[in-house]
């Protein structure tokens, strides 16, 4: 088996879509599994669609999710450059070869003429409105013009493109690793433009030339490329590279959560989840699209989730680190059907990974988040809070959100709970407890428990009846971690003063 060399070949036209991240991931996993190479190639042959910052964004995003590039524009490598706009001469050479061998030709048709041709054909039923073997002889190109005229046009600077001369009717077959054999008749393929009038190659030429020169072993890309794959096979043949052709694997698409169709930014916005890995500010509109990272998704959770969207190990294991994914990954186990994007499952993965962090790690997150709110917190206290809260968080920010009650006393109380639970019995117990706790500040779970016991016994009231009221007084709400731990974290003095405040505002003695 030849060395596994895969490439992720995005176009720098904007932020990297989450589906692109998955494509990159599958490429990366295959490379890792076989100790191969992961290549990043920037496909920037469309100068009109160039978006500043997009290339940097792509690299940052890949880095964040943990996809490492072995060869690419920054890292370099034996087949540099890895940016297609810097490889113009290379493509020119191979187009010339195609021209010389009669597999390509010059075409001078203007955009208006092309449109006219398509419109004319559209009205004829049964006809396929495309530039192909049935129509090329009616157009303005080096097949219909004399050599002199062609040379004259080129010399005088008339714009032209170079098209692939696709045979009239031949079967092209390709073996897709995911879908099996796919056969297409060349009668369905049009004479694709290989070289644009600005001298840049199109995707169809550039990807074939680069994959060959870069010794790519597997082309793993989205399903949207499947229809043009036979064209690429044909190009390999014409170039004489049939035997070195890479394997193809066309990935199923990521679908919108409801209904059908490709997952789009619009859907994501509507459903309230991100679609880009990192924050992205559209340079044209200045609009900010929030990223998974900024939303609080951990890269390892995102990766795990994405990996299982379309691929599965055939076992019941669901939690995978990148290493485990690489070890288990097989192209053959990628499904054929598109997968709907279910953010709830992503949240679950996030929760799993967040919980697996230590109290210290969680504590650091808490400290940092509190700091932005102007609250200082010691490490030991942060760790203790993290420990109390760890089972109730899905996102890192939840720790500070839930933990805030340990620093900010409630100003108001949940009215529903108050009306139900704040009664004479509660007032009696809490009044005693308030005084009891005022005395000592070195509160522990034991001393807190005994203080509460003392208070309930003194009032002759069962503990269970007043716990909710106690929680209300301390936190303003009806949920939270263990109450004794809450009191300890608060300290005796603070607990006491909160009880006093509750007694004052909710009524009591």
**Catalytic center residues:** 265
Using the rule CB under 7 A, give the single segment among 60-68, 148-156, 434-442, 462-470 that binds RNA.
462-470
> To the nearest whole angstrom, how small is the minimum distance from the Cβ of residue 345 to RNA?
4
Give yes or no for residue 314 binding RNA (CB under 7 A). yes
String of contacts with RNA for each residue 191-230, x by CB under 7 A = --x--xxx-xxxx-------------------xxxxxx--
* Single residue of 14, 24, 26, 43 touching RNA by CB under 7 A: 43
Count of positions on this chain that bind RNA (CB under 7 A): 81
Using the rule CB under 7 A, give the single segment among 73-81, 86-94, 127-135, 371-379 that binds RNA.
127-135
> To the nearest whole angstrom, how small is the minimum distance from the Cβ of residue 374 to RNA?
26
Give yes or no for residue 436 binding RNA (CB under 7 A). no
Residue number, 1 or 181, with CB nearest to RNA? 181
- Phi then psi dihedrals of residue 248, to 5 deg: -115, 140
Using the rule CB under 7 A, give the single segment among 98-106, 180-188, 269-277, 496-504 that binds RNA.
180-188
Contact (CB, 8 A) for 85 and 73: no
> To the nearest whole angstrom, how small is the minimum distance from the Cβ of residue 376 to RNA?
26
Residue number, 86 or 198, with CB nearest to RNA? 198
Output the CA torsion 227→229→233→235 (10° steps).
90
**Rg for the chain, CA atoms, rounded:** 33
> To the nearest whole angstrom, how small is the minimum distance from the Cβ of residue 398 to RNA?
10
Contact (CB, 8 A) for 106 and 70: no
Contact (CB, 8 A) for 353 and 361: no
DSSP state of 477: S
CA-angle at 205, arms to 203 and 207, nearest 5°: 60
Give yes or no for residue 143 binding RNA (CB under 7 A). no
- Greatest Cα pair distance, the chain, in angstroms, is 112
Residue number, 336 or 371, with CB nearest to RNA? 336
Give yes or no for residue 158 binding RNA (CB under 7 A). no
Give yes or no for residue 471 binding RNA (CB under 7 A). yes
Helix (H, G, I), strand (E, B) or coil at 251: strand
Render the burial of 160-192: b for 16+ CB within 10 Å, e for the rest: bbbbbbbeeeeebebebbbbeebebebbebbbb
d(CA 26, CA 29): 5
Give yes or no for residue 316 binding RNA (CB under 7 A). yes
Residues 337-376 that bind RNA (CB under 7 A): 337-340, 342, 344-345, 347-348
Give yes or no for residue 467 binding RNA (CB under 7 A). yes
Which candidate, 283, 285, 303, 284, places its Cα nearest to that of 293? 303
Residue number, 280 or 311, with CB nearest to RNA? 311
Give yes or no for residue 395 binding RNA (CB under 7 A). no
Helix (H, G, I), strand (E, B) or coil at 184: strand
Using the rule CB under 7 A, give the single segment among 64-72, 142-150, 434-442, 482-490 that binds RNA.
482-490
d(CA 468, CA 402): 18
Give yes or no for residue 27 binding RNA (CB under 7 A). no
d(CA 425, CA 419): 13
* Single residue of 183, 284, 411, 416 touching RNA by CB under 7 A: 183
* Tokens describing residue 427: 């007032």
> To the nearest whole angstrom, how small is the minimum distance from the Cβ of residue 83 to RNA?
12
What separation, in Å, do the N-terminal and C-terminal C-alpha atoms of the chain show? 84
Residue number, 280 or 305, with CB nearest to RNA? 305
Render the burial of 419-446: b for 16+ CB within 10 Å, e for the rest: eebbeebbbbbbbbbbebbeeeeebeee
> To the nearest whole angstrom, how small is the minimum distance from the Cβ of residue 350 to RNA?
11
Residues 70-109 that bind RNA (CB under 7 A): 109
Residue number, 97 or 128, with CB nearest to RNA? 128
């Amino acid at each position: 088996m030849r060395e596994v060399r895969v490439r992720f070949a995005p176009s720098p036209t904007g932020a990297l879509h989450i589906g692109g991240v998955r494509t990159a991931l599958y490429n990366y996993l295959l490379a890792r599994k076989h100790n191969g190479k992961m290549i990043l190639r920037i496909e920037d042959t469309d100068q009109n669609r160039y978006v500043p910052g997009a290339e940097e964004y792509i690299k940052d995003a890949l880095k964040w999710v943990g996809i490492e590039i072995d060869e690419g524009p920054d890292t370099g490598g034996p087949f540099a450059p890895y940016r297609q706009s810097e490889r113009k001469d290379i493509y020119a050479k191979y187009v010339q070869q195609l021209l010389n061998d009669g597999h390509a030709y010059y075409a001078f048709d203007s955009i208006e003429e092309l449109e006219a041709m398509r419109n004319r054909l559209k009205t004829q039923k049964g006809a396929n409105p495309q530039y192909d073997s049935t129509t090329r002889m009616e157009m303005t190109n080096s097949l219909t013009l004399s050599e002199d005229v062609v040379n004259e046009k080129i010399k005088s600077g008339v714009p032209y493109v170079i098209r692939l001369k696709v045979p009239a009717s031949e079967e092209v077959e390709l073996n897709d690793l995911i879908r099996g054999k796919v056969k297409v008749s060349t009668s369905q393929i049009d004479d694709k433009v290989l070289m644009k009038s600005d001298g840049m190659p199109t995707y169809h030429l550039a990807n074939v030339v680069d994959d060959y020169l870069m010794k790519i072993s597997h082309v793993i890309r989205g399903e949207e490329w499947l229809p043009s794959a036979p064209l690429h096979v044909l190009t390999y043949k014409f170039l004489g590279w049939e035997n070195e052709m890479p394997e193809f694997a066309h990935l199923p698409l990521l679908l919108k959560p409801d209904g059908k169709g490709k997952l789009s930014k619009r859907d994501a916005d509507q459903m309230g989840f991100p679609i880009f890995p990192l924050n992205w500010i559209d340079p044209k509109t200045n609009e900010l699209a929030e990223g998974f990272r900024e939303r609080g998704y951990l890269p390892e959770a995102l990766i795990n989730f994405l990996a299982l969207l379309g691929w599965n190990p055939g076992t019941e294991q669901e939690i995978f680190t990148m290493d485990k994914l690489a070890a288990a990954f097989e192209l053959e186990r990628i499904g054929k059907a598109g997968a709907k994007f279910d953010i709830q499952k992503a949240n679950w993965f996030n929760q799993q990974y967040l919980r697996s962090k230590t109290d210290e790690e969680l504590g650091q997150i808490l400290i940092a988040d509190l700091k932005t709110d102007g609250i200082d917190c010691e490490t030991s206290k942060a760790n203790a809070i993290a420990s109390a809260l760890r089972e109730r968080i899905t996102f890192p920010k939840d720790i500070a959100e839930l933990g805030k009650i340990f620093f900010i006393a409630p100003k108001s109380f949940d009215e529903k709970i108050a009306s139900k639970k704040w009664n004479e019995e509660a007032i009696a117990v809490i009044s005693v407890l308030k005084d009891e706790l005022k005395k000592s500040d070195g509160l522990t779970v034991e001393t807190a428990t005994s203080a509460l016991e003392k208070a309930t016994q003194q009032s002759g009231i069962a503990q269970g009846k007043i716990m909710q009221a106690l929680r209300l007084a301390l936190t303003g709400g009806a949920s939270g971690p263990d109450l004794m731990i809450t009191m300890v974290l608060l300290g005796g003095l603070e607990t006491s003063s909160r009880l006093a405040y509750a007694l004052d505002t909710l009524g009591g003695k």
